[in-house]
Amino acid sequence: MSAPIRLGIAGLGTVGIGVVKIIQKHAELLSARCGCEIVISAVSARDRRKNRDADVSGYAWVDDPLELAARDDVDVFVELIGGDHGVAREAVELALKTGKDVVTANKALLAMHGQELAELAEEQGRVIRFEAAVAGGIPVIKTMTESLAGNRISRIMGVMNGTCNYILTRMESAGLPYETVFDEARRLGYLEADPQLDVGGIDAAHKLAILSSIAFGTRVAFDGVEIEGIERISIDDIHRAADMGYRIKLLGVAQMTARGLEQRMSPCLVPADSPLGQLQGGTNMVVIEADSVGQLVLRGAGAGEGPTASAVMSDIVELARKVRVPVFGQPAGSLTRAQPARTAVPAAYYLRLALLDKPGALAKVAAVLGDAGISIHRMRQYDHQGGTAPVLIVTHKTTPEAIDHAIAELPRTGVIAAEPVELRIEEVQS
Amino acid sequence: MSAPIRLGIAGLGTVGIGVVKIIQKHAELLSARCGCEIVISAVSARDRRKNRDADVSGYAWVDDPLELAARDDVDVFVELIGGDHGVAREAVELALKTGKDVVTANKALLAMHGQELAELAEEQGRVIRFEAAVAGGIPVIKTMTESLAGNRISRIMGVMNGTCNYILTRMESAGLPYETVFDEARRLGYLEADPQLDVGGIDAAHKLAILSSIAFGTRVAFDGVEIEGIERISIDDIHRAADMGYRIKLLGVAQMTARGLEQRMSPCLVPADSPLGQLQGGTNMVVIEADSVGQLVLRGAGAGEGPTASAVMSDIVELARKVRVPVFGQPAGSLTRAQPARTAVPAAYYLRLALLDKPGALAKVAAVLGDAGISIHRMRQYDHQGGTAPVLIVTHKTTPEAIDHAIAELPRTGVIAAEPVELRIEEVQS
Ligand SMILES: NC(=O)c1ccc[n+]([C@@H]2O[C@H](COP(=O)([O-])OP(=O)(O)OC[C@H]3O[C@@H](n4cnc5c(N)ncnc54)[C@H](OP(=O)(O)O)[C@@H]3O)[C@@H](O)[C@H]2O)c1
Ligand SMILES: NC(=O)c1ccc[n+]([C@@H]2O[C@H](COP(=O)([O-])OP(=O)(O)OC[C@H]3O[C@@H](n4cnc5c(N)ncnc54)[C@H](OP(=O)(O)O)[C@@H]3O)[C@@H](O)[C@H]2O)c1
């Protein structure tokens, strides 16, 4: 057995306490697997008197995470506080500067400052591991950084925000409107303090930006992600998509094209019987396409105490085994600056329109689409609802540009009663 | 950049040439990711004059894999010959004894001699990596050994022989009998030289035994796997299972119970709409259940040049990065000898009987099941076929023992026209 590896854990919330519990419960198993003991030297959180779900009285308590980061009896600083600035960031930087490796679950921090942190870590000869930051218990970081190291990755797709997937699948199964399910999710504690992080797609976009960096050897570029949340998805859209064999998911897609790096996080239609279409509730899925391996699909719990702590533990075990992999899979200095590209890859689109009850309304709409070079694959008109007729169109493959153009032109027809809803139908091998 | 890592590749067949191609095509990418160059010092195969799908003229040629294993200019011996004895085994042992690490795709070798080889490797301070040996391109070894190191794994399930899955799904989609599709698979080159390895479930059982070892910290115990092939699955079974919402898969299940380690590889029914049920063709899937992470599902190509070579490369990159993980995830000496246990976990069962056209036949069968404590969930009788009536029964949950007992008793009824077919219905979360 080598010398124990000594942890300082900052943050004793859902994830932090989950990690403490695993270390306490599986001490023997972990020693056998790591070849050394994993010990917790000290912990930190805001409120020392808070009742926690694990006994932390055996560890030194430090009020200030910065003090924890700088301690001599800590080899690995485990940051489980959260937030892309403030104490989490400062403590991570200080830990690296004082010679510690860092394990974190903080996607916001990595999405915003991943490059600087990776450079700092390398300068200091330290590493940062962050398996838990993307898709919770699913080992996607390790898979991309290590298992697929012999591949050129061409596309990543993922459902990576459990709360959004919960809301969308619950709307469908219970037939409830967005607002009702949103309130329910809030009551159940599924939403972040700032719900925009979830339903606005920001949290999932953070994760996508991190995956892109590893996949394409580029600097994390969160500001290159086109983001759209799920707020405008109505129960009507969900039902009508289902009628045509689709489900709506908040789907992240990143791919390298000749024009640059496309990254988008947006509600999309996927075939109801595809693996992505079948994801229920908080489950996450990542689909990776690469030159040698072909398609790889990983599915599991994307959040929650156990799954997230499991991922944090995998990083801790890695360091205990003296495994040291570059932060984003290759030296930070070799990561290129990707040209961000707006989505240009063609796809079929779903359009939901509310037409005024005027003669020739449908023909006018069809003409606008035709002028934009868009051909119609399927169209359904539903019963009038208070003077307007809902119309649903699935186009043949077309470009996002053509769709934008058509949508901009539609109001000129004088038959459009409400803002059109347009959703991409992402092609997914099933 | 550190010093190059030097490979000796023994075996230039499907997998070996796949590896050579990746190293040639992605030299730059690999150097960036590994922090060193990956070079091939020498190669070996049976026939030097054979036309190969990659140019190997730049590498030293060695006729004898043993000579290759012992070379001074080799750091990692990559064994891609195959077979559980003979030259593959001897060369791997010699490589370890002469101070090389070993990468192999050889499940038969590990299933039969994994423990001795792991002990030898540890004595020599070397490692053996074998990601490609189980489920081809799916990173299941890394996931279990590293990503789930903080978990206690409770059950593993897997469809891990692409050829069997091809045969079963092709029978269903084309409505063809087993023999026809078997011949087709042979013509397409999907079958091993000894087809029993595939259709007899042996190859898949090798893989399951390897996974069990990592999952439960036990010595590989291939002889503890209850094995049954797919030869007795008829197109009738496939159709009738489908009628009731199931698909038949050659499914491996390993779980630790109070009675010991249950390992079985056998044709099972799974819900048609579960991830396992939906697997088509050569695709593989592994489902892992563990205490913290919950359920994790991995899906991808289980064989073929690209996917298998991708897995071999992940091991090579790991060694190039100086990552050294114990062979089965913990020191070989700490692996326990599991008590092998016959399957005892209860399940529902599918029974197909051919009854003679006698009055009260069905009642007699029902009585035998009742006496064995088995209750019937669903029953269907089909039209008579030449004097016998096919009857299909799905039981409620019962024990394998009760089923065996009932099957042994059935002939006494005097109404059974043919050997009953009995298949376990494995419970799978969807
Ligand atoms: N929860 C999940 O399922 C999940 C999944 C993946 C990733 N993550 C990430 O994991 C991280 C932690 O998430 P969580 O859900 O565990 O959060 P949480 O339950 O809110 O816990 C946060 C912890 O940080 C402590 N803390 C906050 N501000 C602090 C300060 N200024 N100084 C010291 N301690 C401070 C809190 O102390 P008190 O307890 O005293 O208030 C609390 O223990 C975040 O980056 C999150 O994005 C979470
Ligand atoms: N194919 C797959 O999809 C797959 C997937 C997972 C794992 N695997 C495993 O990978 C290994 C290799 O499989 P493969 O499909 O690549 O086999 P293969 O195509 O049959 O190639 C075997 C290679 O070994 C060479 N060889 C055989 N006997 C030899 C000897 N006595 N001395 C020197 N070389 C010898 C052959 O030489 P010649 O070329 O000169 O005949 C050939 O190059 C096996 O362990 C297999 O189980 C394969």
Q: What is the pLDDT of residue B430?
A: 64
d(CA A402, CA A408): 10
- The yes-or-no verdict on residue A357 having pLDDT over 90 is no
Answer positive or negative: Cα dihedral of A347, A280, B298, A209.
positive
Question: Quick check: B213 and B332 in contact, CB under 8 A?
Answer: no
How far apart CA A347 and CA A330 sit, in angstroms, is 33
pLDDT for position A176:
96
Residue with tokens 């003090």, as numbered in its chain: A67
Q: What does the pLDDT look like over A57-111, one tens digit per residue?
A: 999 999 999 999 999 999 999 999 999 999 999 999 999 999 999 999 999 999 9
Q: Is the dihedral of CA A22, A27, A33, A38 positive or negative?
A: positive
As a whole number of angstroms, the distance between CA B73 and CA B42 comes to 8
How many contacts does A have with B, using Cβ atoms within 8 A?
Answer: 194
User: Cα–Cα distance between A155 and A212 in angstroms, integer?
Assistant: 9
Contact check, Cβ <8 Å, B314/A146: yes
pLDDT at B321 over 90: yes
- Percent of chain B, pLDDT > 90? 92
Band the pLDDT of A384: cuts 50, 70, 90: confident
Longest dimension (CA), chain B: 83
Ligand 1: which of A9, A21, A46 to mutate, judged by most atoms within 8 Å of the beta carbon? A46
pLDDT tens per residue across span A191-231: 988 999 999 999 999 999 999 999 999 999 999 999 999 99
Pairing of strands B101-104, B76-79: parallel
The Cα A426–Cα A47 span in angstroms is: 46
| Cβ proximity of A39 and B335 under 8 Å | no
Taken in order of first residue, the domains within chain B and their CATH numbers are 5-104 (3.40.50.720), 140-302 (3.30.360.10), 348-425 (3.30.70.260)
Using pLDDT thresholds of 50, 70 and 90, give the confidence band for residue A430.
low
User: Does residue B207 have an active-site annotation?
Assistant: yes
SS3 B176: coil
B276 to chain A nearest CA, in Å? 11
Q: In b/e form, how buried is each residue of A247-277, taking b as 16+ CB within 10 angstroms?
A: bbbbbbbbbbeeeebbbbbbbbbbbbebbbb
Report how far apart, in Å, the C-alpha atoms of A327 and of each of A28, A125, A129, A314 are: 29, 11, 7, 15
Q: Which of B76, B78, B292, B334 to mutate to test the interface with A (most CBs of A within 10 A)?
A: B292
Residue A148 with chain B: CB contacts under 8 Å: 139, 310, 314
Contact B329 A33 (CB under 8 A): yes
> Mean pLDDT across the stretch B31-47?
97
Give the predicted TM-score (pTM) of the model.
0.96
SS3 of residue B318 by DSSP: helix
Cα A37 to ligand 1 centre (Å): 25
If pLDDT is split at 50, 70 and 90, which confidence band does A429 have? confident
Q: Tell me how many degrees the CA angle B234-B351-B164 measures, rounded to the nearest 5.
A: 35
- Give the tokens for residue B271: 């819900």
Report, as an integer, the average pLDDT of A157-168: 96
pLDDT (average), residues B99-106: 98
> Which residues on chain A are in Cβ contact (under 8 Å) with B276?
none
> Is A107 flagged in the annotation as binding?
yes
Amino acid (1-letter code) at residue A322: K
User: For residues A224 and A253, what is the distance between their CA atoms, to the nearest angstrom?
Assistant: 12
- pLDDT tens, residue by residue, B253-291: 999 999 999 999 999 999 998 889 999 888 999 999 999
Task: List beta partners, residue B290.
Answer: B153, B294
Q: Taking a C-beta distance cutoff of 8 angstroms, is the pair A160, A149 a contact?
A: no
pLDDT, position B357: 87
- Chain centroid to Cα A44, Å, comes to 27
Rounded to an integer, the average pLDDT of B37-47 is 98
Tell me which chain A residues have a C-beta less than 8 angstroms from the C-beta of B146.
139, 142, 314, 317-318, 323
- A46: which residues sit within 8 A by CB, 6+ positions away? none
